[in-house]
Amino acid sequence: MHSPRSLANLTCHKGFLKPTKLYNDIVSVYNMGRAYNAGVSRSQKTTQPSLLEVSAMEHANRGFIVLLAIVLFNFCYAQGGKAQEETKSLLSFETSADLNRCTGSAIRKLVGEHATDGRRSLLIDLSEATPTFAIQAGEKPFDFRGWDKLKLDIYREGHPISIHLRVHDRKGNRYVSWYYLVRTGYNVVEYSIWGMSSAIDISQIDKLAFYTPKRSGKLYIDNVRLTKGRDDDSWLLPKIKPKPLLNVRGNLIRNGDFEFGLQYWGSWGQWDGGAYIFGCGMGEDAYSGTASAAIICQRRGRGGIFTSPSARFQLKPGEYRFSFFAKGSDKGVRMFWQFEGQGREGAGLSYAIRENYGSKRFDVPTRWTKYEYRVKVVRDVGPLAIYFYSVGGGILFIDAVSLVREGEVTEAVATPRQPMKPSKVEIRGTVTYVNGKPFFPIGFYNAEPESLRGTGFNFICRDPGPGMPGLEFLDHCYANGIMVSINMEGIMRAHLPWQAPELIEPFKNHPAVFGWYVCDEPDHPRWTVPPPEMRLATSLLHRTDPNHPTWTVVMPWADSNIYQYADTVDIIATDMYPIADYNRQLIRVAHATDVLRRAVKWERPVWMVTEATSKATPQEEYAMTYLAVTHGANGIIYWNFNSARRNPKIWNTMVRISLELKRLTPALTSPTSKRD
């Protein structure tokens, strides 16, 4: 048997895996995993480890790498379900006639670079202010009937940007889809035709108009097409060879190597008038392993990442060694770091941290550079977070962050746990079943399970930040009859969807787990996660864990947001907050629920996330709940627990509502229920 190759060598020209060779790799990887489990050491290896081998070293005890190989095989070649993707070409930009159908303020020309269909692509120069680009249908309109998606291939030079699409029909109607993130390199951009049909005549399409809010760099566009059937998202699978991981014993920083993207890390990009977005670096932009953290400047100010509340740490008196690696994409990248916590930051913590509580601003070289500091702590302090701030242009990459107490290496000792029978969650039509019984989720964000005793609440979603609940929290939920949603937006906002199967491994067999919260608001303009990445995560999770569904919450300010993500998860929800955002226009809850149901063609469950707030009246809480329920919502989740508890009148109202919904559950989950 030949040695396993990296994922780069498992792919051919357009990212499709070669099944006959992949089978051999699966067998090789399986044998390799067995060898590692039997105690084969790294010193016995004769070749540099590939991604599969590194993964086997890290995860052989639970056979992860075998699972990964099988996942990739099944994902690309599984039969059944939707038929293979069919396509119909609209434009391939091979001739001057194709070019003449393009209009707009952006500079356009046919070139030989980055073509995906034929020998040429269309180069779009975005140097003009508010550049636009449009494709005209010509004498006959485009007819999109009978197709699922409009897709086009885009290669991006420069930093990531967002593009918007306006589709015009010949009756004067318009459909707008907002904030599609185009990342550096190759992208397949897609738009829901079913969503278009809600606003325009899709048999009479006259123009496809694209624009971006700011001028920046170049796009290469090719293979504008219509598709139907099972989407092929294999182009997203990584094609890089990872570097050896730097495992630091006793590290107090969770996910300091960013192999799980921004899981256990928060981010914010709009301090001091700045505009920063976040992602990951791969290949040469990762110092160790597969990925680094990336802070991407769109407008100079201050933006950064920080250890999330679930990953903060306590420091006892003593000396610590703090280190990280950083590099800039080009000149002009600047940064600083500091400890923050207990309402203080940097020098404000000098009462406890006498040396190196933070740094001054400094320039970051364009090569990987190690920064190491001796941190002297003179009294107990915490919980603390470490903040990394970008205060310049370009992209700041951070990797291999560690904080270790000098002279003391402690290894966490896992407490043996008794095996538990995992929950089994099934979706049949619009009804959800947990362990064979109909289930109508009545939930809260950020609740503690003990606080829900005696109520009708049966579901908790932790804060949509990038932390993860511990197994002890899941145990408490199980003891109180509460189902839990596990959040994985840290990997998704870093654009690492293929890491989803490994991330859920510690949790998937716990009986309190309902399913996987793939990402909160993936359509948000500050951290957009494109639909194919969401769908790839769902596909991989289904093959890793058939017992639990995926879900997401999209923003409701544009109906097109809901349509864009409707087929990327098992359950789609939206967060409509009429008290906070829409001047108490409660009827918006009904409209958002109607759009959700149409988006899934009335075939799958939809949930409503709405407000439980001390700013509402009891009557408004009742109205929001029953507007959603009577318009067909199959679950109600409230944002959020802490706000509701601050007002006893509102809290008592929420408890009464939850008990009413609990009593109504048999009717709400009846397969013959009609709530139109």
- Confidence (pLDDT) at 2: 32
pLDDT at 54 exceeding the cut of 80: no
Backbone angles phi, psi at 233, to 5 degrees: -105, 15
- Confidence (pLDDT) at 216: 78
- Confidence (pLDDT) at 206: 98
Secondary structure (3-state) at 588:
helix
Secondary structure (3-state) at 328:
strand
- Confidence (pLDDT) at 464: 59
- Residue 470 CB partners (closer than 8 Å, separation 6+): none
What mean pLDDT is predicted for residues 565-571?
Answer: 98
- Confidence (pLDDT) at 48: 36
pLDDT range class, residue 81, cuts 50, 70, 90: low
d(CA 206, CA 142): 7
pLDDT at 94 exceeding the cut of 50: yes
Secondary structure (3-state) at 417:
coil
pLDDT range class, residue 412, cuts 50, 70, 90: low
Structure confidence by residue, pLDDT tens digits, 415-442: 777 888 999 999 999 999 999 999 999 9
pLDDT at 593 exceeding the cut of 60: yes
d(CA 460, CA 234): 33
Tell me if the bond preceding 255 is cis, omega within 30° of 0: no
Taking CA atoms, 331 is separated from 216, 392, 411, 512, in Å, by 18, 9, 40, 49
Secondary structure (3-state) at 491:
helix
Q: Which of 46-55, 399-408, 660-669 has the lowest mean pLDDT?
A: 46-55
pLDDT range class, residue 38, cuts 50, 70, 90: very low
Structure confidence by residue, pLDDT tens digits, 131-147: 899 999 999 999 999 99
- Confidence (pLDDT) at 649: 96
Closest CA to 549 of 514, 599, 511: 514
pLDDT at 383 exceeding the cut of 70: yes
- Confidence (pLDDT) at 64: 42
- Confidence (pLDDT) at 57: 41
Q: Are 496 and 490 in contact (CB under 8 A)?
A: no
- Confidence (pLDDT) at 84: 84
More confident residue, 290 or 27: 290
d(CA 131, CA 355): 50
Secondary structure (3-state) at 65:
helix
Q: Which helix (H) or strand (E) holds 35?
A: helix 19-37
More confident residue, 45 or 25: 25
pLDDT range class, residue 465, cuts 50, 70, 90: low
Secondary structure (3-state) at 209:
strand
Residue owning tokens 């760099």: 217
d(CA 386, CA 395): 19
Helices (H) and strands (E) in the chain, counts: 15, 35
Helical packing angle, 19-37 and 51-59, nearest 10°? 30
What is the chain's length?
676
Domains of the chain in start order, with CATH, are 86-229 (2.60.120.260), 265-405 (2.60.120.260), 427-669 (3.20.20.80)
For 521-632, list the strands marked E by DSSP.
550-554, 571-575, 606-611
What mean pLDDT is predicted for residues 550-556?
Answer: 98
Q: Are 212 and 127 in contact (CB under 8 A)?
A: no
pLDDT range class, residue 638, cuts 50, 70, 90: very high
- Residue 55 CB partners (closer than 8 Å, separation 6+): 64, 65, 68
pLDDT at 312 exceeding the cut of 50: yes
